[in-house]
Chains A and B, each alone.
Chain A
């Protein structure tokens, strides 16, 4: 017995050693720490082909979705800094540490989110475009030569669009064109950026597709030309040197192509099915299912309005129209009703009165003023479908035919051809005055008049003090035309900068900023300056 006992442990020792070895092997080798990847696609395992091109290019455009109508995105950046739209403090909030008030009063800081958001999304698109171009060029993404050339041209045009947004909003920013270069980039001047974007577009236009429908929401020749026209339209602001003749050249190309026409119904251009509108040249498409991000209705509607549209979401009740702007409309202008939800709103099924939107808004808030839930007309331009969720289908028409006509009209007007301009303006107005067609026509003399906007500080009771009105604004009437046609399309900041209103006028609870001339550019985001010492702050925002 004793002997057995003695031999057992030895036997056991061998067993234990053996088991340990096995155990070690079972656990896939004692030191193999290769990470198994299940829920990501490893770069080394992915061999893309032409078939994958759409998915590879898609992210370049995807950034524009959150950029435009995303939370505190480009829409807010352009509209809340201008004279059409405000987000006042409401019973359910919307103070948000004063961010909307700062937008309205041009007190945005170097850490303000809205301009930073635009910066981030624009550069995201740029960097993704650079990445795809690198993949095409280095053969990671092998493509036939002609496909590669068209793809590169389109990517450069899309990148130019993103750089245009930076040109317009931040001005002095770095230009990065090589994905591999991760050196801290140098800052360029606004003029250099302007030249870069203009050159890029001019260079790629001959290689871009001329097709319209298949290239919907992508950079084709017409989108590139509309963009170029837009840049020339603002060239004086960007560089100090006007380019009116070039505006006419580019817009004429689009007009003469016959590829686009004014939609017979203004509402169609913004409807949930607006991708069918013949007027849209370039859009940022949204979709309830695939392309989330159009939440304009959520921000503007009162929570009660969900009953009006039988919505499957509860809106947040925030922004609304500046009452002074509403006053400028001709009451027969159909666009007043197509653009702004106003007056009584009725229950979708019972027909009961739900809420009545009033034009008056007591103030932006911050002083204890709270705008009632129904204060202010709401943005209804992007028609809200029955049963809407928190994401709308309506595409954002970034460039549309009416815009091309109006760009040309402005260039004509500013070069002494106001009567030719008036013809174009009248064309655009026509569909807005179907019941009173005589009001549709304007003449050149009208366009030379000032603005009908009663610029001045609005008191809580709605009276406007310190009025300096709009009569003194050169081509003010034309600016009004832009306002009525393009309100709620994220045009307004750019337009009133070009007409000098942004820097000089008071509206609602906004007075000209002490450093008004410097407010036409947003600051370089402080976070980016901290990360890249090559960046200097824009004038007027230095510490």
Chain B
């Protein structure tokens, strides 16, 4: 297909020089993409009656005038159109109408043609990736896969994007999809975005079940770029860009002049005689750059792909940055007439950051600090004040050291032996070793010493991980007449060893050592230093098989099973079975549809699959004890550690299981101009792994890890691609995704304990409010806020709230029992709209993303839009009347600060220009572009960024909190260059 395009482009170029208006004769041949002649194709000139048919050998001849448009059609092929500009001999290559469906899709342990797929799989190729300064693999496909919610809640250059597929599907297990990079488990940062060829997402259970126990949150298959040329090729590509950032939105805090104005009216603020805009002082205009060189070389039997990626990203906070060097080499060699294919790949990652004290907590300090205060005191030291949780943010930044070096080496190799046609025996082995080394210290000018007399603190933390993977697969593909069979069996072994060591000391004679001579501190002699070490090992073994069958690509079926065992589960429950089945029917292929030309594909799919979630930690099924200092006591005149059970024992711990039904429709109409998919899914997660509350007494601990409860997610997803203009100088491709999700907690009980607390609270406001923000209750959705509902403010400036009887009462008379559900932090609907335009050498793309039907707790307002506390700075809006009154209430968590957070974001705009081929000698291709990220948001939300809410870690059950302490998101502008030599 690509070659045809190149051919056509060349012909166009030729045509520019043929201007003469004369009758010319054209002869040639009509062939298919395999070069076979097509008989009986109809050739015509648009707007004219003349019509000829191709001969049995595909040949034809006709006459035309320059400027006429040739149209060639034939049943089963996509129509061909071209303006004629002087050609005399020409070969018309017609594509099978289904060729767009011939796209190869990566599935678990193999590939399938898109037309054969019976599950819900989304595939994004590199040409459709997000362009510009992309953080990681996640951002490449942001808004491009229906049901996959990707966001970047933090502006920290070291933080990766967050990704969630089809809602929240586990309580204790990981919410992160399994990311497989070239067959080996990895993460979104394993390879640089520039190194990725395609990303395939296995969305439903029937597709993901082949990955068994790690697949509940979906599977993302990343395929790296590699030399696929079948002839000699040497290409060097350089991609580079430089990038600038500004704060996406800045909180409007009171300035020194506001303080002084209020002081004049009697408000008891303290005027410290200076003027400082703390937010401006702790931020900067960061400049980042990124360089990527990729090399392709080799011949038909041996080829090589190498890439070096260097990036130095500065963060918007002073002293925050990440430097990264990724190197990848991929070597392929064919032996024995192509019967043995070998591959070796080495990926090395090095990440380094030196962040000082630029933490989210520092951001809080910049926000609340008195704007009339000064940065330095008279002796040139940081001006500190004696208040609680109140430190000079610049002192924090400059007097702290937070260094991190992360190194990862992944080595993988495979042997693929194909003794007979259609059979492939493959062995893949990989080892991934990583080491994460941290060093932290605070100097003598840090508040740890200036306030707390600690005389310098320092720590080191090192973590190492070794992953081994071995997989044996046998794949057999056979086509006999109209039947196609594809069978796979395999075995997989994975083990991981994780080790950690941490040491902390303080009270140093000097702060010059930072963290490089921990033994110099004396806290260790006083018994006040800290030290920890830990090691664990996990093993995972699986046997799997899959059969896919299709008849004329009309009827399709797939069945698979994985039997998998994990060392983390109880003796009798180590193994689990994860079956899947799916079927498809392409109605467009039926004879009765033959006359319905506009419909190229109409494939109904249905699938069912079981996946599991692995325990989130090792040792949880063990009957074991630990010696703990916290459980120690003073016995016989000395302190001894206590020997205690590590947990309430549960040797019956087993897999969490997700049963998922998915029905879908793949369609392609109007000469494949419009194509897409619709999906509806229902996922029931059973035996949720969960820290279940158990009665105490008789149990020692009031909770234990149990399989209990059931959760459901349902949703609808649609993806529509339109090649609105695909021929001619002007091209426009547009894609639209929409996804809905509805979560319900069905129950939280267990066979052993049929009584249960039907809810648990989640989320935390932090000091000084100190209360939970969300409640997760059986029969309701995860993400529900649980809060006192405000309905007004009384004449004294106190909140009026609704009690549990629905009456309006002053907040002082309310109790915790009056809290109620109010909104939900997870969007009901997520949209993505991507557009790309080409006009001659100019390319232009933009994308919108939006989320609707959710609320966000605006913590910035919760804490800083209340004038009660004169010790901390507040938003300018804090003195605005609320319900017509000036607020005199204490800081409280009430519904007033939970806002509708629907938004539509202009996410990415890129404008590029590609220089004409060979315009510069020695350069095959040259493109320059400018791109902007996070440009504009249409929203009623009053906070900094409605999308800057985390839904991982502590926020798994408390989604929809825009935290006051965070690394604010940014808007970025990029200038870039792509060169191919």
Contact = CB atoms under 8 A, between A and B. Distances in A.
B890 A95 contact: yes
Contact of A24 (B335, B493, B566, B767): B493
Interface stretch (B75-83, B604-612, B643-651): B643-651
Given A58-B632, A97-B771, A366-B812, A27 B755 contact: no
Q: Which of B337, B387, B419, B633 has the most CB of A within 10 A?
A: B633
A30 B694 CA distance: 37
Given A54-B636, A62-B642, A23 B427 contact: yes
Given A44-B623, A95-B890, A131 B535 contact: no
Interface stretch (B94-102, B695-703, B897-905, B912-920): B695-703
Given A123-B696, A213-B637, A20 B427 contact: yes
Interface string B764-798: 00011111000000000000000000000000111
Nearest to A34: B567
Nearest to B449: A312
Interface string A279-305: 000000101111110000000000110
Interface string B615-648: 0001101111111111111111101111111100
Contacts of B700: 124, 127-128, 131
Given A58-B641, A303-B387, A366-B890, A93 B702 contact: no
Contacts of B528: 288-289, 389
Given A58-B640, A59-B642, A389-B528, A528 B696 contact: yes
Interface string B680-701: 0000000000000111111111
A241 interface: no
Contact of B493 (A27, A52, A181, A182): A27
A81 to B, nearest CB: 17
Contacts of B335: 8
A313 interface: yes
A309 to B, nearest CB: 10
B770 A96 contact: yes
Interface in B367-402: 386-389
B771 A96 contact: yes
B625 A92 contact: no
Given A291-B639, A387-B453, A27 B495 contact: yes
Interface residues of A, number: 106
Interface in A181-197: 181-185
Interface stretch (B199-207, B536-544, B578-586): B536-544
B792 to A, nearest CB: 16
A120 interface: yes
Contacts of B630: 62, 292
A38 B631 CA distance: 20
A95 B339 contact: no
B697 A290 contact: no
Contacts of B541: 30-31, 33
A530 B755 contact: yes
Interface in B335-351: 335-337, 339-340
Contacts of A102: 815
A147 interface: no
Given A365-B890, A532-B755, A55 B642 contact: yes
Interface in B525-567: 526-528, 533-539, 541, 565-567
A97 B816 contact: yes
Nearest to B389: A92
Nearest to A182: B698
B308 interface: no
B768 A94 contact: yes
B50 interface: no
B698 A41 contact: no
Contact of A40 (B493, B626, B633, B694): B626
B290 to A, nearest CB: 38
Interface string A29-72: 01111111111111110101000101111111110010000000
Contacts of A55: 627, 632, 640-643
Given A55-B640, A314-B451, A316-B388, A23 B566 contact: no
A42 B631 contact: no
A16 to B, nearest CB: 6
A92 B634 contact: no
A93 B767 contact: yes
Contacts of A126: 697
B interface, how many residues as a size bin?
35 or more
B869 A91 contact: yes
A72 B628 CA distance: 22
B415 interface: yes
B48 interface: no
Q: Is the interface of B mostly helix, strand, loop or mixed?
A: loop
Contacts of B890: 89, 95, 365-366, 368, 370
A311 interface: yes
Contacts of A13: 417, 419, 425
B696 A124 contact: yes
A55 B520 CA distance: 32
A298 to B, nearest CB: 11
A23 B770 CA distance: 54
A58 B633 contact: yes
Given A120-B696, A128-B700, A57 B633 contact: yes
A3 to B, nearest CB: 12
B646 A531 contact: no
Interface string B807-822: 0000010011100000
A216 interface: yes
Nearest to A369: B890
Given A91-B871, A95-B768, A290 B627 contact: no
Residue in A38, A46, A313 whose Cβ sees the most chain B Cβ within 10 Å:
A38
B756 interface: yes
A111 B771 CA distance: 13
Contacts of B415: 16, 19
A217 interface: yes
B633 A314 contact: no
A9 interface: yes
A43 B649 CA distance: 11
A533 B755 contact: yes
B566 A33 contact: yes
Interface centre among A102, A288, A289, A367 (most CB of B within 10 A): A367
Given A33-B566, A97-B771, A530 B756 contact: yes
A115 interface: no
B337 A5 contact: yes
B646 A97 contact: no
Contact of A23 (B470, B621, B870, B889): B470
Given A58-B642, A95-B892, A289-B526, A527 B625 contact: no
A517 interface: no
B695 A184 contact: yes
Interface string A87-117: 0010111111100001000010101000000
A183 B419 contact: no
A303 B388 contact: yes
A528 B417 contact: no
A142 B345 CA distance: 58
Contacts of A214: 636-637
B695 A531 contact: yes
A289 B641 CA distance: 12
Given A13-B419, A92-B388, A62 B697 contact: no
Given A35-B568, A312-B453, A40 B622 contact: yes
A176 B633 contact: no
Contact of A183 (B698, B769, B796, B798): B698
21 contacts: A13-B417, A23-B429, A23-B470, A38-B537, A40-B622, A42-B622, A44-B623, A59-B633, A60-B633, A91-B871, A92-B387, A102-B815, A107-B815, A123-B697, A174-B697, A216-B637, A290-B634, A291-B639, A317-B388, A389-B528, A530-B693
Given A9-B417, A38-B534, 11 more contacts: A5-B337, A12-B340, A33-B565, A33-B566, A41-B627, A43-B623, A107-B815, A127-B700, A214-B636, A310-B453, A314-B452
